[in-house]
Chains A and B, each alone.
Chain A
Amino acid sequence: MPPSLLGLEGATVRFGGRAVLDTVDLEVAEHEVVCVLGPSGSGKSTLLRAVAGLQPLDAGRVTLDGRDQSGVPAHRRGVGLMFQDHQLFPQRDVAGNVAFGPRMHGASRDEQRERVAELLDLVGLPDAARRSVAALSGGEQQRVALARALAPSPRLLMLDEPLGQLDRSLRERLVVELRELFGRLGTTVLAVTHDQGEAFALADRVVVMRDGRIAQSGTPLDVWQRPADAFVARFLGFDNVAEATVAGQAANTPWGKLPVPDGAPQGTRTVLVRPTGVRLAPADTGLRCTVTARTFRGTHVAVRLQPKDAPRLEAACALRTAPEVGDAVGVEFDAAEIVVLG
């Protein structure tokens, strides 16, 4: 593991007695892209503000390159922060915004001009230098904000909901561009988002936060395949989560006895059944359910099933075989798509 650039040790921030950041430990290695994922109010923005020096810690510490940052004001930390709604300076044009950081660091006029041209090129707005920021579209503002944050060459770049306010297609395009850009520049990035798709597409490592604490940390694949607990699973969009007693290769759940993979943890556990693991069968086999809703999802149809005396289930069906609302179906479970959490 390369030496960590950013370290948080027991970082705690309280607002009026409530811990918004609760003894958070986190390390970000050089050149790593880490994405903090969590619902709104989980403390992820506060995490960024604490690292930036905009939010004093009530306990714990932040280190950069191993050096304690307590007492170092925001403007001397050498980190960049791209704000959620960009916060471009309205009275300056695009070039004035991008040149701001280098200017604060004492760059000469020529150096500033060069840097502005270089960065606007990088973000794909080579001719925008003299434009007013008010005249930019959302996507362009995002690019200018990125250029501005990158201009002083921060050792750590932080992004607060970088694509939050853009429409979906633009977001999907930009996330690929960002990933490619950070890879090329070798930038160390700490981003926060509430959008799992964004986090998985952007990050080397995903950190899921809940109520000011870190609920799980791992590669996107890890987190996706093995959510740490019911909260993470539900946050990732999995609804088929239930308490179960696991014994050997079977789990006793509200939906009946489910097969679980070899080597699953034993005892009282939380079980997650992926929608693809819910197989539809003729009504007289397996768990009997009624179809209560079906939602077209592009590649598949999400079918909502209501068993008798058990929590609802969601199943993913092929487009052609999806049942109609009101149909009675049977359900069988696929052990490969069932995860025993924790």
Chain B
Amino acid sequence: MSVSTLNTSNPHQQDIQNILGQANRVILGKNGQIKLALSCLLARGHLLIEDLPGVGKTTLAHTLARTLGLHFQRIQFTSDLLPADVLGVSVYERERGNFKFHPGPIFSQMILADEINRATPKTQSALLEAMEEQQVTTEGETRPLPTPFFVIATQNPAYQIGTFPLPESQLDRFLMCIQLGYPDSKAERELYLGRDRRDMVADLLPASDPGVLPALQRQVAEIHVADALLDYLQAVLDYTRQTGRFKTGLSPRAGLAILHSAQAWALIEGRDHVTPEDLQAVLPAVISHRLRSIGETHLSDKESVQELIAAIPIP
């Protein structure tokens, strides 16, 4: 076996490269975040973006939707938004004499739930339940959501007044939580010089066939996970449970989340197996919103995850 053949060629590898390339052309200097978002999507999870307005959250969601050829809906969450506004409502039609269900915006393949923390807990949980169960139950009737179904929620961390922060148990429903952050100066210059992003998004064509995304999602599950890697994963989980740095350790569900994300990341990297690097790449995004440090650490959650990585030797 030689190194050149190490990366087993994947029939859809080109598709992945196309998707990434297209997204990178629109959103500049955010390759890592785009890859994380894509791996979240491939691992069939939902994404939470915590950041200030105007750094390109909407653009990212929109670009991904267009590139993948998914039906996209944006829901702006406000404090007066009702569950029915999200899920849909049955309206009595006098001509027919019965109720007709008008599906809400949730019945699309990709949803951008903007500023999710502005809505009341009732509305939030309506969305989150739908996310979890992949179906909507209203008035005793259960309606499946389309597949693939992918929610990108955004949350503004800076202005918390009058908001309803998502409780920890709800945060767990998001596979990953990422920050976009400001672009670096080079990317920012390019942004100013280039075309209007909204136009660019509108002009985007799907970079792959509609069947590619489900195929890729199926491939994620086949990415090989070696025993040595599981040892590493368990070391990470044990560390969060036993060192006493964190209020509660990671749950087995979080462990699965790490594993699936790392598999998706490995797929994007063009590998048929997960390496510790893959796991480390997704770890901050997967666990930072699931852990809360105790004591008086002056570190942000991301930093404390970096410290956690540095504290665990790779077995």
Q: Indicate, yes or no, whether A interacts with B.
A: no
Binding site for B on A (CB under 8 A): none
